[in-house]
Structure 1
Amino acid sequence: MFITTDDGVKLHVEEAGEGTPILFIHEFGGNHLAWEPQMSFFARRHRCITYAARGYGPSDIPNDLEAYSQRRAVDDAVAVLDGLGIEKAHIVGLSMGGFATVHFGLIYPERALSLTVAGAGYGCEKDLEEYFRGVSREVADRFEAQGAEAFAKIYSLGSSRVQFQNKDPRGWQDFATRLATHSDVGAAMTMRGVQARRPSFYDLEAELKEMTLPTLVMVGDEDDHCLQPGIFLKKTIPACGLCVLPKTGHTLNLEEPALFNSFLAEFIAMAEAGRWAVRDPRAIPGQVMKTD
């Protein structure tokens, strides 16, 4: 089905199952189909929804750069919920979708039951912030000049993607094949409009400290540029837990689907039971051992 956003963009939406809703938001290198291991697993007991972000077929692909932004990505997620008549959902995002999930919690906390932020952090490290913005624009140029079919052969072998290829060559090939079908224009606009312009998590510290939604941060231990931002989120968001998957790269939900689903299922169960609370004030970070 399609829903239409307030700026007239049609988004392709898929859903399965019944129960408490879960909204899955995909990464830059993936699309709505990349959530299939989660859609199949969680549809046993939840109403599962995923969608193709603007710029990703079969959703619309605007040519105007100003149609793409971090705020617009969040508003699109809300538009999907509105279009399906859903008041609240568990929000689950990977990478670019993880950034959207964090901002969803900041802007629309009343619409979220919980937040799962997986593999998010690229561009957050302050010493690499400008480099990331520049390389994002370079990647956009490559998608335009070479086309997704050709450039996917390079992008899919990034330093945090090869772990997936080594563990699961067939799964990685499916990922790379999907990447090769991306819109050249949509990929370039997304890189320039969303990735290259989004704020660092570190710039949102004051707001994150006030966000009390149950939050799970998931990161692979070989996804180097997400590790420290993940720890930052853990230390900053009051009701945040951190899950680090060993010998794992960026594409968490596909690289380790059983582990991902297991941790996510437990988190959602805890959140729905009201047992994923803010950190106990007695757990003082600076304390080594209690003496009095």
Structure 2
Amino acid sequence: MLHYKTYELDDPDASWVVFVHGAGGSSSIWFLQIKEFIRYFNVLLVDLRGHGRSKGMLPHKEERHYDFEDITRDIIEVLDSLNIRKAHFIGISLGTILIRNLSEIAPERVTSMVLGGAILRLNIRARVLVALGNMFKRVVPYMWLYRFFAWIIMPSPRHKKSRLLFVNEAKKVAQKEFMRWFRLTNEITPLLKYFEEKDTGIPTLYLMGDEDHMFLPAVRYIITRHTNSWLEVIGNSGHVCNVDQPAEFNSRAILFLKKISSGILPQPAVLQCASS
């Protein structure tokens, strides 16, 4: 089973919030969120297979090619072990795809979703990056690829902290594991197309940096097609908005979860969050 960590309030009615990191990261990328969220919610942090402290924790029969469903069911297994029947889910980058997939596999487990740096569609630049990665992944050191991708996705000097955080976390992922995760790129396009066509109706807040030029346009489009979906754009922030502007990310996400827990749906709007 995956490595996980929990923080529980002394309140039997407290809701659970499950944090899901992206590829190459670990649960440590949420260090700027934990202090604020544990004031109001029970919190579950997971390290996805091959990442963080989940390296080497799966049986040998699982040491093979796997898909998004396998990785998603890893998370459900942790929920079952803790008897968490339903929770709010917060994800960043590729973690948003896993949460969205979980909402298809087990919608009854998802109260709401907060999707930061959400990946809803691969634009031409993203598809070219994936194609180049597949072309050179066996001849170029994987960390070169990861640094290159990080720079393309987070190019601004103000994104440096996010780039360094993810690159340093990626160094902890074995090359064989990186290759397994990279194979998942072959499944992304049809999966995202299905997600675009299927509206779950589950309350979903998209938190996107205003400088996340690769993925923000698709989110602006999707909220016009899906019910119970809201977008808040965080100023002076890139793809990893929970690191670039943690105070904005935390306040917006917590307010949303509180409203959902109280049975209040936010007013439909696209909000621009100013940040200094």
| Band of TM-score, shorter chain | 0.7 to 0.9
The equivalent position to 1:56 in structure 2, one of 51, 74, 92, is 51
Tell me the amino acid that sits aligned with residue 186 of structure 1: E
Q: Is the 8 A contact 2:210 2:235 kept in 1?
A: yes
The equivalent position to 1:268 in structure 2, one of 246, 251, 257, is 257
Q: What is the CA-CA distance between 1:123 and the residue it aligns to?
A: 4.7
Aligned to 1:242: 231
Secondary structure of residue in 2 paired with 1:101: helix
Does residue 1:195 correspond to 2:185, yes or no?
A: yes
Which consecutive residues of structure 1, in runs of 5 or more, have no partner in the other structure?
5-10, 281-292
Q: What is the CA-CA distance between 1:129 and the residue it aligns to?
A: 7.2
Aligned to 1:8: none
How far does the alpha carbon of each residue in 1:79-126 deviate from its partner, in whole angstroms, 9 at most, with x for none? 12112110001011111101111122222111011011111226534x
Secondary structure of residue in 2 paired with 1:231: helix
Once the two structures are overlaid, the 10-residue window that deviates more, 269-278 or 238-247, is: 269-278
TM-score normalised by the chain length of structure 2: 0.83
Aligned to 1:134: 131
Secondary structure of residue in 2 paired with 1:97: helix
Change (3 A) 1:278 1:259: closer
Secondary structure of residue in 2 paired with 1:71: helix
Aligned to 1:222: 211
Which consecutive residues of structure 2, in runs of 5 or more, have no partner in the other structure?
57-61, 270-276
Q: Is the 8 A contact 1:30 1:175 kept in 2?
A: yes
Aligned to 2:164: 173
Secondary structure of residue in 2 paired with 1:275: coil
Q: What is the CA-CA distance between 1:253 and the residue it aligns to?
A: 0.8
Once the two structures are overlaid, the 10-residue window that deviates more, 56-65 or 182-191, is: 56-65
How far does the alpha carbon of each residue in 1:142-186 deviate from its partner, in whole angstroms, 9 at most, with x for none? 6xx5254x5554444x133233xx337556534432222222111
TM-score normalised by the chain length of structure 1: 0.79
Distance 2:63 2:138 in 1: 15
Aligned length: 259
Aligned to 2:73: 75
Aligned to 2:155: 162
Q: Is the 8 A contact 1:239 1:278 kept in 2?
A: no
Runs of 4+ deviating beyond 4 Å: 127-130, 150-153, 168-172, 277-280
The equivalent position to 1:14 in structure 2, one of 5, 8, 23, is 5
Change (3 A) 1:44 1:213: same
Secondary structure of residue in 2 paired with 1:113: strand
Q: Is the 8 A contact 2:212 2:239 kept in 1?
A: yes
Aligned to 2:107: 109
Change (3 A) 1:233 1:83: farther
Q: What is the CA-CA distance between 1:227 and the residue it aligns to?
A: 1.2
Q: What is the CA-CA distance between 1:21 and the residue it aligns to?
A: 0.6
Cα RMSD over matched residues? 2.6
Q: What is the CA-CA distance between 1:74 and the residue it aligns to?
A: 1.9
Distance 1:244 1:141 in 2: 37
Tell me the amino acid that sits aligned with residue 185 of structure 2: Q
Identity across matched positions, percent? 22
